[in-house]
Chains A and B, each alone.
Chain A
């Protein structure tokens, strides 16, 4: 029984989705943990919003608040939509429509005029990539579901009146779920013979694979903010690279084919139900039984640098540049106790993100925000699959903040994501140019995000 088809998506899903969670800025990496920041397209490394979300956007920003306590609870609803259009047929398969809630919680305390501590609990990923189980790409994946919770204690210090430093220590708890089908035509029926050569059509489901994995890892980030002038601030943040040890389980369910082997086949007497021939793989000493899996995943480091300009006292214009070292995600090795080991070539590219936002205090109570951002793609042309069909993105945001009272502010935001229509594949492929040649259609992806947060300070 050929194993590569089973291992391939398992390896990629568990690792990819997890890795993107760490990157926080691609796939459905949620950068929008605060209605205020979201409204201005996630800018703020130089001037984070108040309320505690600086824990996420720049740890240095938690010190210097005029109130002793700051906190924030928020929820972002992500509604991704997408599809795949086949070159050959022109038919489009729509990804299953999901709406993903991503909650956040931040709290900070000013210990003194120069020191502050905080704690953030946030979920940079509420990712679901889901397709109908009849989708032609189901043999790579038809469901990938990632949940990642970050707990980040943070400390910051004001070294000078205009210079702040912060450090956050991250504990990451993540879980990943993947489902895929296995194509019988690609499996070995007898030495030198595949089932496809017995006439089993391409795309004959015979097994449903369910992979679940989880990881606990630790990391951190450092940040700094320099208020060069009363109108100009510079900020920077660096996220340390990590290595995540992902442990999981794969379970397999036989899918009936209903095929009866004809005379002249080399593997069983004529009239033998094919399902009975493959059934032993799902029990006893077979390879398609529940088993453990393990992957060591390199998670990229990233660097964000930004600028905040205040041309007017009630207007802040922000610009952030983000670099993510996706080059680390070149080769992925996954090991299963029965299926063995598989090396998957991802060959990802570093990404660059450019964010521009503004925050306008229109009235004493009302702030209006907006922004735009552009991100390059991490996946090379040969690695665009149903698991994570990502591409370069252009996004726009709108938001508002309303001071409900002197201590409470409501922030609302809307974000629209337009992703590049990207050529990709729905089947396994070799590395490099051959993988590009396997691209057989066009992935499309858009998303609407709605964010709301309540920030308090007292």
Chain B
């Protein structure tokens, strides 16, 4: 009996000895939780040029670090380059930002087609913001064959993978979505309301994106931004400004060169408070047009402006300034109304979706309105390399500066805190 027990014990010993407790297992080194909490372990961003970090008509590593997405990641406790990756562009950028949009000069002396390429391959890309991106292109980059630059930059940013697909691969725990600006902006800057994305197709794109998020098992937390009212950007100046600079209005004195008799401004550009029924409040002149008018009048040549028909004449000959980034254009009152109505409709769709999906809704227009005093009503042509469009908008009048991006990031952080009961710190 004793022998049998001994033998049985000896027989059992080898199996026990093969237990994994007897080897010195090394540890897995999972990423530590970010200071913001487990919610933000994997934060991914879907967005437009604002999310990407475009400033002054260009993008480079410096402007990418100013983007609200980068700042949010930091607020979440993530470390860019370690556990949060963005597609850094090297050298002067892709292209380099304007240093003077009136002379088309850019950082490093590069052209609008220069591209310094990606700095390096990253393990993955958390910030999939792509300039010129429309909502449908978040699902399929080729869905809207409009801007070749979208396809070009998509290649550099996500390898031509759609942003939603790129984000899904990350299995994110939190996503910010900022779409819609390009679904209305091009209509505003090019004066073509056919470029407005129909509300129904925009809603369908958003729903498809939302369904993709929901397919991720427990689903990530999502904060979605409203479509900004693009008519408020300083790239567009109200027609009344040119009328008042020509003739003088309460609070806006006639100012050379606009006060030149060579400047034939139709009375329909007057503010409604000055001439009842005029359209100066609801007609907008795009920056290339404003710059062209300024250059023409400064040279002593003649120029005309009609705020109802949108007709404008400027001198585009040698020596006259017409920034080439956008077309010479006037947004007529009818077109303005269409753009504003579409922005309103898209935002209603976004808010409805956010409510239904328990997403945070970030009202960017409220943030803009709260800082309206810092948005100049007219470009400062005497400071074309610094505060041409004030301190919140960069030298293209469309994309925010670092200060402007901070306001957007703070708007996101505030709403994320309120919706998800977290405490992201203030954006510095």
A is bound by B: yes
Q: Is the CB of A262 within 8 A of B156?
A: yes
**Contacts known (A201-B161, A262-B155, A358-B10); A396 close to B121, Cβ less than 8 A:** no
Report Cα–Cα, A120/B279, bound state, in Å.
102
B251 interface contact, C-beta 8 A: no
B277 interface contact, C-beta 8 A: no
What is the distance, in angstroms, from A202's C-beta to the closest C-beta of chain B?
5
Which of A110-118, A279-287, A329-337, A387-395 is found at the contact surface with chain B?
A387-395
Q: Is the CB of B158 within 8 A of A442?
A: no
**Contacts known (A199-B160, A418-B19); A371 close to B122, Cβ less than 8 A:** no
Q: Is the CB of A370 within 8 A of B18?
A: no
Q: Is the CB of B15 within 8 A of A201?
A: no
Query: Which of B13, B15, B17, B156 is close to A199, meaning CB atoms less than 8 Å apart?
Result: B156
Q: Is the CB of B121 within 8 A of A201?
A: yes
Report Cα–Cα, A85/B29, bound state, in Å.
10
**Contacts known (A87-B30, A199-B87); A416 close to B120, Cβ less than 8 A:** no
**Contacts known (A87-B30, A204-B159, A396-B16); A370 close to B115, Cβ less than 8 A:** no
Report Cα–Cα, A201/B31, bound state, in Å.
22
A41 interface contact, C-beta 8 A: yes
**Contacts known (A259-B159, A421-B25); A396 close to B123, Cβ less than 8 A:** no
Contacts of A196 in B (CB 8 A): 118, 120-121
Which of A23-31, A142-150, A263-271 is found at the contact surface with chain B?
A263-271
**Which residue of chain A is the closest to B24 with respect to CB atoms?**
A420
**Which residue of chain B is the closest to A201 with respect to CB atoms?**
B159
A93 interface contact, C-beta 8 A: no
What is the distance, in angstroms, from B84's C-beta to the closest C-beta of chain A?
11
Contacts of B152 in A (CB 8 A): 262-265, 270
B157 interface contact, C-beta 8 A: yes
Q: Is the CB of A398 within 8 A of B156?
A: no
Q: Is the CB of B28 within 8 A of A422?
A: no
**Which residue of chain A is the closest to B95 with respect to CB atoms?**
A264
Report Cα–Cα, A89/B16, bound state, in Å.
33
A70 interface contact, C-beta 8 A: no
**Which residue of chain B is the closest to A317 with respect to CB atoms?**
B10
What is the distance, in angstroms, from A437's C-beta to the closest C-beta of chain B?
11
Report B4-25 residues with CB < 8 Å from chain A CB: 7, 10-11, 13-20, 22-25
> Interface 1/0s, chain A 330-372, versus B by CB < 8 A?
0000000000000000000000000000101010000010111
B273 interface contact, C-beta 8 A: no
Q: Is the CB of B121 within 8 A of A87?
A: no
> Interface 1/0s, chain A 275-317, versus B by CB < 8 A?
0000000000000000000000000000000000000000000
Q: Is the CB of B23 within 8 A of A200?
A: no
Contacts of B11 in A (CB 8 A): 368, 370, 398
Q: Is the CB of A394 within 8 A of B28?
A: no
Contacts of B23 in A (CB 8 A): 391-394, 418-421
B378 interface contact, C-beta 8 A: no
Report Cα–Cα, A332/B42, bound state, in Å.
40
Report B133-174 residues with CB < 8 Å from chain A CB: 148-149, 151-161, 171
**Contacts known (A87-B31, A392-B23, A422-B26); A185 close to B121, Cβ less than 8 A:** yes
Q: Is the CB of B159 within 8 A of A392?
A: no
What is the distance, in angstroms, from B351's C-beta to the closest C-beta of chain A?
33
Q: Is the CB of A193 within 8 A of B28?
A: no
A100 interface contact, C-beta 8 A: no
B421 interface contact, C-beta 8 A: no
Contacts of B118 in A (CB 8 A): 196-199
What is the distance, in angstroms, from A447's C-beta to the closest C-beta of chain B?
10
Q: Is the CB of B30 within 8 A of A418?
A: no
What is the distance, in angstroms, from A197's C-beta to the closest C-beta of chain B?
4
Contacts of A442 in B (CB 8 A): 26-28
List the 5 closest pairs (A to B, CB-CB), nearest first. A396-B18, A196-B121, A396-B14, A199-B156, A262-B152
Q: List 17 A-B contacts (CB under 8 A).
A: A85-B28, A196-B120, A196-B121, A197-B121, A199-B154, A200-B159, A262-B154, A263-B148, A360-B7, A370-B11, A372-B14, A394-B18, A396-B13, A398-B14, A418-B20, A420-B24, A442-B27
Chain A residues within 8 Å of B, Cβ to Cβ: 41, 85, 87-90, 185-186, 193-194, 196-202, 204, 259-266, 270, 358, 360, 362, 368, 370-372, 374, 391-398, 416-423, 441-442, 446
